[in-house]
Amino acid sequence: MLSDPVRFEGRILFLTVDPARILRQLDGEDLEPPETGPLRDQISTDEITPAFICYHFGEKLGDFPYLGLKCGGAFPVKEGAVRAGGFSVSVAGKRRGKGSSREASPYAEHCAGIRLVIAESFERIYRQNCQNLGLLTSTDFGLIPRIRRGEAIPLAEFTTGLDSITAEIVRRGGLFAYNAARLRVEVVPPLPIHAPRPMTYAEKLLARHAVVEASTGETGLPVVRPADGLFVKADWRFSHEYVTPMAASFLEKALGGGAVLHDPGSILAFRDHLTFLHHTMEAEHRAMGLLGVAESLKPAQEAFCTKHGIRLHGELPDGSGSEGICHAIMAERYVLPGQVVVGTDSHTPHAGALGCLAFGVGTTDIACAWVTGDTRVTVPPTLRVRLHGRMPAGVSAKDLVLHLLAQPLIREGGAIGHVIEYQGEGLLDLDTDERATLTNMAAEIGGFTGLIAPDTETVRFVKERRGVDVVLEPWMRGDEGADYACTLDVACASLGPMLARPGDPGNGVALADLDEAVPIHIAYLGSCTGGKREDLRRAYEVVRTAVAEGRRVPEGVQFFVQCGSEDVRRFAVAQGWIAAFEAVGAVVLGSSCGACINAGPGVSTGPHQVTISAINRNFPGRSGPGQVWLASPATVAASALAGHIAGA
């Protein structure tokens, strides 16, 4: 149990927009109140721990928090600076911890000595990861002067407003300690009891999967509502190589080498993120020994999977790529409507396009779920996005989601922690591949997950991809009169191709409103949002005219095409799409993640380079040091052929 009250002995680090003020703090100076702002808003986990730092998964991470933090045009924090500064509290502005679900970020802060993070608002996964690790969080800036005076803070001030399960996790110092007590029946999670009420589709999914009796595996509650704390049974649990070794080490540290996993047949692992890293790792990072550190993740993952009988979707024997990106394979081969799926990636909601509740969790969450078969959830509110009318020709799901990300409600964090449920006539123009882009990018919206109730398109997709007949049940949709926290209405007919300017997926601008000619150096068609069948088909529709006319990608422009899975690649080859891409000068890569996470061909090599990309996020440094514009697959293909940002 954590001490109560809590005393914070170290210094307070204010993550300001002014890099000079951060440097002064790192040099030993404590800022006076008038100088502690303005604070950096929307600090992503890519900035707290850039991807190359996450090859480490031990206490070495404590040397690296905020290494990617961009303030103005500078990166003021260097290796070891936070740990050496003796800080115990870190303060930032709105939407702290947006982006990737990597628990390496709060773990790095914790290993550097941080015991409390304060922000105006937090992204859900980041805050949950903090709670799981025993790192305290608060939105109360009134704590700062009290801590400076040396006041001990009652623990209750860090549990106010939390559901009963989360509050007890905080009191016990983390999820492992809580689950150990739960398995010993020292603590029994209380079950919510409510009068009957109409429920959203997400609430129904959580109610049906709610664990009623852990010892027997009994599940199912008649009613749940937002803010209820639950443990829910997961039909699928998966992790990729960035996380599997770290989770395995956490598990061994907590339970020893004899841990028994619950139903290994429903656990999956993927080697997909770092398949092409050796092609593009910078000389600076090689000199730090990071290639060897990164390559050590593969055998660590393989050993864990072999020991516990877990299916691993790994690299191809010839080294040409991987079986595919975890999200792509989960949708193509595994998930079904009505299921609950958890994965160690913020883009796990990809599978929500098939009518299942799929959400990202952190390292501690997945390690515990391996053992218990369930995961803890605070029932989220639902934001309803109603798509009115039909989508114009040439407008894609990527355009729609970039439009949503630019809306003030989303930009200001109004959807944080919500289920983003898509409804309406506009869905008729989007197949399951396209719908997966919508649900996948719930991560960029800040949501708990993205969700679409299953329909005849879902049935078609599963039959086409797997040869399986799906029977839709009447309960698989929200009730009439269900309570939605908010509704966003979209007039689909008014939409056009969209872009996101460099720096943030929320920097949306209509392609038609682009008031400058933007030459490009790299066009990248790939990732979980850009490497599906429908993504490649839409890009092919642009490219085939160029093939007929004998046109090629201009000199000085690199065009990369990377399928999301081998299933997609084989289909694209059979359709003649791959041959068309190659005919215009594209470099076709093996199936995998890659440039999206700064780990493969398609990354920029200098800050002057401009990339147009079909990936889902463009935070600073996400895909190299250059400037990344986000766009739909069709716009990426058209821009590759034009040599500048252009429409199809």
Q: pTM of this prediction?
A: 0.92
Domains of the chain: 11-178 (3.20.19.10), 236-375 (3.30.499.10), 384-493 (3.40.1060.10), 499-642 (3.30.499.10)
The mean predicted confidence, pLDDT, of the chain is 95
- φ/ψ of residue 82, rounded to 5: -70, -45
Residue type, 467: G
- Give the pLDDT score at 621: 87
Candidates 224, 217, 458; CA nearest to 356 is 458
Cβ atoms of residues 205 and 341 within 8 Å = no
Residue 453's pLDDT band, with cuts at 50, 70 and 90, is very high
Please, what is the end-to-end C-alpha distance for the chain in angstroms? 59
Q: Give the whole-angstrom CA distance, residue 246 versus residue 552.
A: 45
Nearest 5°: the CA angle 575, 577, 583 is 135
Whether the pLDDT of residue 51 is over 90: the answer is: no
Q: Give the whole-angstrom CA distance, residue 235 versus residue 548.
A: 48
Q: Give the whole-angstrom CA distance, residue 226 versus residue 418.
A: 10
Whether the pLDDT of residue 257 is over 80: the answer is: no
- Give Cα 308 to chain centroid, integer Å: 26
- Give the pLDDT score at 516: 86
Alpha helices (H) along 397-454 = 397-405, 408-411, 432-440, 442-445
Tokens encoding 122:
């937090």
Residue 638's pLDDT band, with cuts at 50, 70 and 90, is very high
Nearest 5°: the CA angle 125, 613, 522 is 135
Give the Cβ contact number of residue 427 at 10 Å: 21
- Give the pLDDT score at 386: 98
Q: Give the whole-angstrom CA distance, residue 155 versus residue 167.
A: 10
Handedness of CA 414, 434, 593, 267 (dihedral sign): positive
Average of pLDDT values for 463-467?
97
Specify the range with the lowest mean pLDDT, choosing from 19-23, 151-155, 299-303, 409-413: 409-413
pLDDT tens digits for 524-553?
A: 999 999 999 999 999 999 999 999 999 999
Nearest 5°: the CA angle 91, 93, 96 is 85
pLDDT tens digits for 468-514?
A: 999 999 999 999 999 999 999 999 999 999 999 999 999 999 999 99
pLDDT tens digits for 110-136?
A: 999 999 999 999 999 999 999 999 999
Q: Where are the beta strands (DSSP E) in 300-356?
A: 311-313, 340-343
Q: Give the whole-angstrom CA distance, residue 614 versus residue 424.
A: 25
Tokens encoding 424:
């309406």
Average of pLDDT values for 96-104?
90
pLDDT tens digits for 316-363?
A: 999 899 999 999 999 999 999 999 999 999 999 999 999 999 999 999
3-state DSSP assignment of residue 382: strand
pLDDT tens digits for 10-43?
A: 999 999 999 999 999 999 999 999 999 999 999 9
- Give the pLDDT score at 183: 85
- Give Cα 526 to chain centroid, integer Å: 16
Residue 564's pLDDT band, with cuts at 50, 70 and 90, is very high
Burial class (CB in 10 A: 0-12, 13-18, 19+), 249: middle
